[in-house]
Amino acid sequence: MSKDSLYIIYAGPFRFPDGDAAAARVLNNARAMRMAGHRVEFLSYGGRHESEASSTRQSEFDGFEYSITHDIDRSRDPIQRRIVNFLVQGYRAYALLKTKSVPDVVILYNPALVMVVRMLFFARSRRIRLVADLTECYHSSEFPGGKWMPFAWMNELNIRWALRTISSKIVISSFLDHFYKSSVNLIVPPLVDINDKKWTRKSEVIPAFEGISCIYAGTPSGKDQVLFILDALKRATGQGASVRLIFLGEGLDQLRLSVQSADFAMCRDFVVFPGKVPQYDVPAWYNIADFSLLFREHNRKNDAGFPTKFVESMAAGVPVIGNLTSDLGNYLVHDYNGFIVNEIDSKVLADLFVHLSKLNKSQLSNMKKAAKQTAVQYFDFRNHQERLNNFLSTTR
């Protein structure tokens, strides 16, 4: 390492190396930092080792050392212990951190209140630079018991006081950039390795389809959203459009029940339910689709975050159909790399399905190329190396 290189520890509630979208975010951020000459190590609250290992044994993935601290995914613990673990989340990672060589920088990914307070004192005593990587901003109503329970109180105390004491932040959206405007911030959307072979693999689990295939990856946010999509499908197929929907993910019981109902009987032949698939295999399903669907409610959680599914779809070269939340308006261009449908209106979506079924292969190909180019330009980690390096320099 050169004299300008930094030793960075990245810690937080992600499941390294490939267990969730959070792991993908920190991994690709770290790849950009490594390209700039820095050494990055992970303390992952959850995840798996490449081989059987104890909770403190270090493993390696893509050249990065990492340890799993088991601060999350403790479903076998008694309920009382799980509650306490939630309230003090990160204490195992903190204990392990204290045994390591002193890093130059510690990046805390979405840290809980107690972890922030502990690390503020620890970093000050060891002269460590502290950075927060923030991708969310939950509302009190989204916690068990709502605003009347300690979980919500601690969350509000964390986002309105504790996190504001960390002067340097990597944030995922302009919402968070403004929310923490007194900090030195760098907006970094979800990043990918555009050269990863997973973006070109195709699933062969379901038969080919001659019409337009659309994919919905994830769990619909509610019954109304499920019915909106199904009603649009019903209308479009009734008008002769050849459209298939692939719903990928868990929590789709309501959707299955809706498809089985008499109102949506004609949709049964056009809806496929593969269920949940491993995170790494999701792109293979995108690659058998012509478009992906991404509809989200406007609320603090969605506007503060950034949908990883949008980036995955672009990286796979699959145009997106959806409404504009968060910073999507900076990347989604109507009739270029997707279609903007800001009205949650089944007739509007049905008309779009009918339009899609009339597109020729050249038009589809051009939109897919535009989606891929969007990912290369804005979301490949290589294009964020200099920005992240300059940001880390400001924390010195």
Q: How far apart are CA 274 and CA 226, in angstroms?
A: 16
Q: What is the pTM of this model?
A: 0.91
Contact 386, 36 (CB under 8 A): yes
Which tokens go with 16? 């390294």
Band the pLDDT of 264: cuts 50, 70, 90: low
pLDDT in the model for residue 14: 96
CATH 3.40.50.2000 intervals, the chain: 7-191+381-394, 197-378
Alpha helices by DSSP H, listed for 296-345, are 300-304, 308-315
Alpha helices by DSSP H, listed for 291-384, are 300-304, 308-315, 346-356, 361-378
* Coil, strand or helix at 220: coil
Burial class (CB in 10 A: 0-12, 13-18, 19+), 280: middle
- In the predicted model, is pLDDT for residue 52 greater than 90? no
pLDDT in the model for residue 298: 86
- Residue 220 vs residue 121, higher pLDDT: 121
Question: DSSP labels for 126-175?
Answer: HT-EEEEEE-----GGGSTTGGGSHHHHHHHHIIIIIGGG--EEEESSHH
Residue 118: which of 155, 165, 81, 55 has the closest Cα? 165
Q: How far apart are CA 93 and CA 66, in angstroms?
A: 11
Band the pLDDT of 62: cuts 50, 70, 90: very high
pLDDT in the model for residue 191: 98
pLDDT in the model for residue 365: 95
Band the pLDDT of 54: cuts 50, 70, 90: very low
> What is the signed CA dihedral for 250, 306, 340, 209, rounded to 10 degrees?
-40
Q: Which CATH number describes the domain made up of 197-378?
A: 3.40.50.2000
Per CATH, the homologous superfamily of domain 7-191+381-394 is Glycogen Phosphorylase B; (3.40.50.2000)
What's the average model confidence in pLDDT over 343-365?
Answer: 94
Bridge partners of 291? 214
pLDDT in the model for residue 49: 77
